Amino acid sequence: MKLTTLCYIEQDDKYLMLHRVKKENDLNHDKWIGVGGKFEKNETPEECLLREVQEETGLTLIKYRARGIITFISDEWETEYMHLYTATEFEGNMTECNEGELVWVPKAEIQNLTLWEGDKIFLRLLNECDSFFSLKLRYEGEKLAESEVNVY
């Protein structure tokens, strides 16, 4: 199984989105996602979050919070447990990302981007729900076959 973090950094009613266009053999190629990545050995979710955001954006998060756990199940890749965060305060200057292009996108326009179907669900939950949630997403290839949400 794979453990990851993903963060949507907020500013002026926009999310910082990563258009994944630079990395070779990228499962997320040409998709728009938040910033984050895989845990390193002995990291907590928060340590992974802070490191990945710094590596991908150059920014240091000041105020962030855990919003949910996403379980990805697939017939083509290993199960992934993703810790989902939002952040509202940060410092530093944004740098170039070697995985894609970083763009501030108005929240109202996010659903028009090339997203995974499951991402559309948790992005909607982030905007509609202030509670912590658990979301199970089962994919068959790139097609979302099942979703199940629990809000706490």
Q: Which domains does the chain have, with CATH numbers?
A: 2-151 (3.90.79.10)
- pLDDT for residue 29: 84
Q: What tokens appear for 145 in the block?
A: 């076959």
Strand ranges (E), 59-126:
60-74, 80-91, 101-106
Write the pLDDT tens digit of every residue in 4-46.
999 999 999 999 999 988 877 777 888 999 999 999 999 999 9
Residue whose C-alpha is closest to residue 139's, from 33, 32, 27: 27
